[in-house]
Amino acid sequence: MYEDFADSASFSGNFPVQYNNLSKPDIVPSLEGGTLWPDSVNKVFYLYGGRYPENERPYPFNLWKYDTVTDVWSSVEGTPSDINGAYYGAGVTVQDRGWSYYLGGWLSNASVQGWTGPPVGLDRMLKYDMLQNSWTNNSIDGWPAKAEGVLLYIPASDQGMLVYFGGLEQSPNGTFTMAPMDQIHLFDIGAELWYTQSSTGDIPQPRRRFCAGVAWSEDQSSYNMYVYSPT
């Protein structure tokens, strides 16, 4: 399915018309909780991660890409053997550099072929370089495993900043609890350093699997982050 936001003449009321005429071959899995990394230059989406339906066994991990111009799916070769498909992590793309990130999430028998045991939360952040077709898999020192939060990009600092908040995090006894929404984690991409700062004001209630986005403030002096989730 797709919508054309640029063609306002095709809107139905206040919303763009939805087109449901795109193809997907059966070999491309239908997954839940993954992410689409957009490559706006080449008009391609990369499909990373996600969990399989309960009645299906996972295939070996494969990165897929969808060419929006030709309406063609294809697999991306060259993924290292230590890269698995996580689900319900947080993904974002830095468009002007062709870098995509996925932080935290879960691994289980719903996403990894041959997995045994309970689901495991991740304390890592993956980076995929679209231009080089290369992966970086970095654990985050001192962090508990995290899942089901959001990751946003803002063009601040030298090469930009990633902002993470919300979701679940692992407690010292191994269980997962809701992460407080007043803890904001910032990653300086150029320096490759994480910082944590506390937010103030009307702090939202903890939440998981929610939507968030970022935009300029009206006077363009700062960035506003908008959070949405059902109450």
Output the CA–CA distances (angstroms, integers) from residue 169 to 49, 98, 130, in the order listed. Answer: 19, 29, 29
| pLDDT for the residue 83 | 94
Question: Which residues have C-beta within 8 Å of that of residue 178, sequence separation ≥ 6?
Answer: 167, 168, 206, 207, 208
| pLDDT for the residue 10 | 66
Q: What is the CATH number of domain 34-228?
A: 2.120.10.80
Annotated domain spans of the chain: 34-228
Question: Which residues have C-beta within 8 Å of that of residue 42, sequence separation ≥ 6?
Answer: 67
| pLDDT for the residue 230 | 67
| pLDDT for the residue 131 | 95
CA angle (166, 153, 120) in 5-degree steps = 45
Return averaged pLDDT per consecutive 10 residues of the chain, 231 residues in all: 66 71 86 96 96 92 94 94 95 96 97 94 96 93 94 92 96 93 96 94 93 88 86 56
| pLDDT for the residue 221 | 84
| pLDDT for the residue 55 | 86
